[in-house]
Amino acid sequence: MRDTYDLVIVGAGPGGYVAARKAASLGMSVALIDRGSAGGTCINRGCIPAKALLHAATLYREMTTCERFGLHAEGISFDLQKIYEYKDMAADRMREELEEEFRQLDVDLIRGSAVICRDRKVRVTDEVGTTSVCQGKNILVAAGAKANLVDLPGMDLPGVMTSEELLTADAHKYDRMLILGGGVIGLELATVFQSLGTEVTVVEISDRLLPNMDREFSDALERILTGRGIRICKESILERIEQEKESGRLVCRFVCDGRNNKEVVDAVLVSVGRSPATEGLFESDVPVKLERGRIVVDDFFRTNIPGVYAVGDVTGGIQLAHVASAQAAYVVERMNGRKPSVIISMVPGGLFTPVSIIPSCIYTDPEIASVGLTEEEARRKGVPVRCGKYVMQGNGQSIIAGEEEGFIKVLFAPDSDELLGAQLMCPRATDMIGELATALANGLTSTQLLYAMRAHPTFNEAISCAVEDSRKDFPV
């Protein structure tokens, strides 16, 4: 550990480790500080373990329904302990690859709790209480976010967990589970545990699942999940959790459809969003500007303190790993006088409103992905759009795979014909959205999107069908 670095990074998640990689490759001396392991929440307690469980659970569900393909298998079962070991292996391998990259790039990975002090100094306290101080010519804060809790009776009972606690817990077979929150994380984990035989109830306070997505996606996913046996309770409020004395199981009391409900479960997953992790991050005499717990930054991710930047969840913006990574790369490139290679939003020709080009992905089964404007958002903003849609039941690869339902929707500007947004609900949607994000970032038109052939049979060729549908009333 040196006394002074070109860049001191607080937080080793997707924002921090991308910044460290980029800065070191550009010749900067870098210190990367985190109280936990490299990779932050994403690799260790979030994205990677969750997606590993989703992969295993989806494979198991497919095996149990393989007779529709003329296949027959007896005694299909799963070993939950080995599934959890596989989940841990995926996280371990990614973390080890990351740490090896740091060694090769000469990045100092410092484990401990960081407090940012005046004059761009950072005090680090390790797990045994030893304190050290390093100074940065620049400081980048990428401390991430923490799971929100709910102030309800019984939230401190054993078996009530956040997603981070659930994903790092020992393997346990839950017969029944209640999930509080019908957002991305809650529904992904609902898919996992229902596929592995758990009876799942989702309690959501709003009038639909995935409140930030178009209702069309929410309704379609609800039909699929309900068809698989997941109970969905919308416009519902969890009032309290109690514990049975004899069995130790949890009694959840909630209001659904105006009626009092009670469910006895083995576990409760609280998935109601995340908040910036800024508590204790700055020394009391450091005048950093905070707003409702988030670090306030300008368009260049600068805080009000010269030389101190912040990216990712800690700024209270869009809470996605790839957003933090893109912002981190942007900051480091600007520090080195380079033109940033990534943009976050753009203003298409003829519009007066910026359009986000950040892809959003939901790893349910089927997958959901979105980029740019949605039809509902366009309507709210008064942006005219020309829509095209293709229902996946007619897609050859969907028929081969026996998929239940899905669709692709694309939105174009009526006059300029530029792509304004796209939403996909189908297998491989999270991979396919990259093509449409690239098209959006480069202002491609429906005509240009049809220049390239898409192979047959693939899920991807349905993009061509949706684009063609958007041109029904468009002059050729």
Are 323 and 401 contained in the same domain?
no
Give the three-class secondary structure for 350: coil
Tens digits of per-residue pLDDT, 175-188? 999 999 999 999 99
User: pLDDT class for 404, splitting at 50, 70, 90?
Assistant: low
Are 243 and 289 contained in the same domain?
no
Q: Report d(CA 340, CA 332) in Å as an integer.
A: 9
Q: For residue 356, what pLDDT is reported?
A: 86
Q: For residue 365, what pLDDT is reported?
A: 83
Q: Report d(CA 267, CA 200) in Å as an integer.
A: 10
User: Could you give phi then psi for residue 125, rounded to 5 degrees?
Assistant: -115, 120
- Whether residue 139 lies inside any domain: the answer is yes
Are 367 and 311 contained in the same domain?
no
Q: For residue 93, what pLDDT is reported?
A: 96
> C-alpha angle 431/436/440, rounded to 5°?
145
Q: Report d(CA 96, CA 305) in Å as an integer.
A: 34
Are 76 and 136 contained in the same domain?
yes
- Token representation of residue 184: 């991305």
Q: Is the pLDDT at 258 greater than 90, yes or no? A: no
Kindly list the catalytic residues: 456
pTM (predicted TM-score): 0.92
Q: Select the more confidently predicted residue: 317 or 167.
A: 167
- Token representation of residue 378: 């366009």
Are 309 and 254 contained in the same domain?
no
Are 315 and 279 contained in the same domain?
yes
Question: Do 8 and 136 meet the contact criterion of CB atoms below 8 Å apart?
Answer: yes
Q: Is the pLDDT at 257 greater than 90, yes or no? A: no
Q: Report d(CA 21, CA 105) in Å as an integer.
A: 7
Burial of 288 (0-12, 13-18, 19+ CB in 10 A): middle
CATH code assigned at 394: 3.30.390.30
b (16+ CB within 10 A) / e for 409-442: bbbbbeeebbbbbbbbbbbbbbebbebbbebbbe
Tens digits of per-residue pLDDT, 43-80? 999 999 999 999 999 999 999 989 999 999 888 999 99
Length of the chain: 476
Q: Report d(CA 453, CA 461) in Å as an integer.
A: 8
Number of folded domains that form the chain = 3
* Average pLDDT score, the chain: 93
Q: Is the pLDDT at 424 greater than 90, yes or no? A: yes
Q: Is 428 left (phi over 0), alpha (psi -120 to 50) or beta?
A: left
Are 281 and 253 contained in the same domain?
no
Give the three-class secondary structure for 475: coil
User: pLDDT class for 118, splitting at 50, 70, 90?
Assistant: very high
Q: Which helix (H) or strand (E) holds 44?
A: helix 40-45
CATH code assigned at 22: 3.50.50.60
Tens digits of per-residue pLDDT, 289-324? 999 999 999 989 999 999 999 999 999 988 999 999
Tens digits of per-residue pLDDT, 186-240? 999 999 999 999 999 999 999 999 988 888 889 999 999 999 999 999 999 999 9
